[in-house]
A and B are shown apart, each in its own frame.
Chain A
Amino acid sequence: MANPTNNQTAATDDALQRAAIDRSLRVPVIFFFTSGLAWLFVSLVLGLLASIQLHSPDLLGACPLMSYGRLQPAHMNAFIYGWAFQVGFGAALWMMARLCRITLPRVASLVVAGHLWNLGVTIGVAGVLLGEGTSIQFLDFPKGVWILMLAAYCVIAGYIVMMFKARREEHVYISQWYLLAACFWFPWSYFTANLLIHHFPSAAVINAAIGSWYAGTLMILWIVPIALGTTYYLIPKLVGRPVASYQLAFASFWSLAMLGGWVGLQHYMGGPLPAWMPSVSGAAMIFLVVPMVFIGLNHHNTMKGHHDIIHYSPTARFVCFGAFAFNAFILLGAAFSLFRFGKYFQFTHGELGYYMTGLYGFFSMVMFGAIYYIMPRLMGCEWRSGKWIRFHFWFSAYGTGAMLIALIMAGLFQGRQAMAFDQEFALSVEVSYGFLVGRSLAWCFIILSNLMFLFHVLLMICRLGRRSGEATYIHPRDREHEMKPAQA
């Protein structure tokens, strides 16, 4: 068997190979991270403005660009296509390359595709603000932009798939299942929805139904698998042991795959559609609790005895927060699909709360964790300050928590008041006023936290991170604690 010297050479070879992979991916991954973060910032500002408009409609004057009906879709679409997709591309490319042990020889077309994607998002968001939106949730960009975006997407996802095809590692990891599946699902539903709605329309209500199906699949079959792929990569890496159970992972992956395509139409439950359509979607949303439990259990078992990493590792802290928020996201989706709760929350701020839990509390927090993990490896320097990371975490955590509570409570009050059919409808809008002010404050927290993060990332890109020493921790690492035997 291998003697110590061979082991050492193997380890050095490994490290050299990893460094080569990181070098080859530096440009595209940093490109996607930075342009994603820029869009995140744009989107957060638009979200704050939209939030302010709801409780103080005259504060920003009567500029048509500043009306809620344009700001809200611009904010949501900038968040999803500008930030979530690009940071997802960056993380997926890097993880796939690492897991397949592939160095990318040429990245030019990847960067070109990235620029095209950004161009598409820019045209789209500007179009929505200038009054060319389509008012279909998450498909608000003006007609035609989707062709550009889909083309750029295919190039980027093509890289991910090609890396997998050329992989030098026998073992196929769970992260790879999720990343490949997301690459495969999104273009299918995006193409279908755009083609059918814009170019081969059916009856008006069916077009609307396809729009809401797309919104559902976008969340469950893109946002969720990309973030889950990342948690399945990072958690085992951080604790230094493989995922606890491949059987559980297998069961949760395939139950998500079977259920994910059915979701979305619960948004229109009680609508003028054949009643089975929203019912099937609602049932799928409720059944998603099953993979949620499996995934949570698996992550918990993988981390067992190593929960102290949350204390010092920035990545672990963000990823674990995201993994918890995933449960909230799925449980809210299931609750809103039941008549009992859905009748109060349908069409209220509560639904917005559901989306923000998934998009910010779950997806974005996991991605922040991934950036904290990936960036030092790409740039060859460590994060400057644990204090700044702590600031980013707490302001984000409290911000997203406060926003979720504000939106859910606003939705509950709004929905309950709307049931009082013998009272003025306007009351149901007014009862949520205080919570909406609270939401605007929560936005300020989130914007502050991300300003800090943006600054930190820019320092890293300029290679102004710490040059020496070990990784940056949020709190000093407690070595003694580590030596204790794992608690059951």
Chain B
Amino acid sequence: MNPIKSFTILLGLAFSAPWLMLVMMPHLAFRDLQATAYSEEELELADGSVYPPGGAGRIARGHEIYTKEGCAYCHTQMVRPTEALGTDMWRPGWAGRGPNWQGEEGKPAPLRTLRPEDYMEEPIAHLGIQRNGPDLSNVGWRIEDISLLHQSLYSPRSVNPRSNMPAYKHLYRLQRKGSEASRKALPLKGEYAPKDGYEVVPTERADALVSYLMSLRKDHLIPKALGGPGAAPATAAAGGATTP
């Protein structure tokens, strides 16, 4: 065979092996990821009837804003397992509701690593490029006050003076106060407050982004059918990642 032809064929072979095995096969294998129904005994421990429980339509819009603003350039959505890769699982609230979670009686507070199904509702998983801000895999559990979240999106330094997050002021609207303050107006104080007679309210985009962030809860019980712990104490699933 002429050497140029064999050069091309060898190049093709060398590249098609990883292309097939690392890209095409996982692509096809995970194409039809389905939600799994919980068995009856799991139902009382789980948050819904299927895993993953699924989100609302507004969350898709929030994911789009998260994408377009490049949030993934500073925030990961990927909690690394403890065995080899550090202490992500031990940070309070990162790998799930955590030990301080005051839930219903009898429901375990799961801490676990993540599975492909946890991201099923999203068009692409923003696992993250850098971690210049906290991991957001389970941020939905950590947010206690929605208006504070809005405030830290609008003006991060007004909530934490040491934060280096960009201020997403363009997701908010400055409007003249009506007879009484709008229910949604941000509780800005001091130098961050708008001028007298005005208030800052979230636009529909900010609301969508916040709904998306609130929906980020990736510690749902893994059904036994998927190799999950089922009714067993959920902390065992985290590979010994208990909070010391």
Contacts and interface: CB of A to CB of B under 8 A. Distances in A.
Interface stretch (A107-115, A267-275, A309-317, A379-387): A267-275
A171 to B, nearest CB: 11
| Interface secondary structure of A, over-half rule | helix
Interface string B109-133: 0000111101111111111111111
B165 interface: yes
B74 interface: yes
A472 B133 CA distance: 49
A50 B71 CA distance: 14
A206 B26 contact: yes
A202 B7 contact: no
Interface stretch (A79-87, A338-346, A357-365, A454-462): A338-346
B104 interface: no
B27 A196 contact: yes
A240 interface: no
Interface stretch (A61-69, A146-154, A230-238, A327-335): A61-69
Interface in B1-46: 3-4, 7-8, 10-12, 14-15, 17-19, 22-23, 26-28, 30-31, 33
Interface residues on A, range: 35 or more
Contacts of B10: 254, 257
A272 B113 contact: yes
Contacts of B132: 54, 68, 429
A391 interface: no
Given A54-B164, A55-B164, A348-B130, A261 B70 contact: no
A57 B167 contact: yes
A422 B81 CA distance: 17
A67 B85 contact: no
Interface string B81-98: 100111110110000000
A128 to B, nearest CB: 8
Given A197-B124, A346-B85, 4 more contacts: A68-B74, A206-B27, A272-B114, A347-B129
17 contacts: A54-B164, A62-B169, A67-B166, A70-B70, A184-B12, A192-B19, A196-B23, A203-B33, A204-B116, A213-B22, A254-B14, A271-B127, A272-B78, A272-B113, A273-B26, A339-B85, A429-B133
Interface of B: 3-4, 7-8, 10-12, 14-15, 17-19, 22-23, 26-28, 30-31, 33, 66-74, 76, 78, 80-81, 84-88, 90-91, 113-116, 118-134, 156-157, 160, 162-170
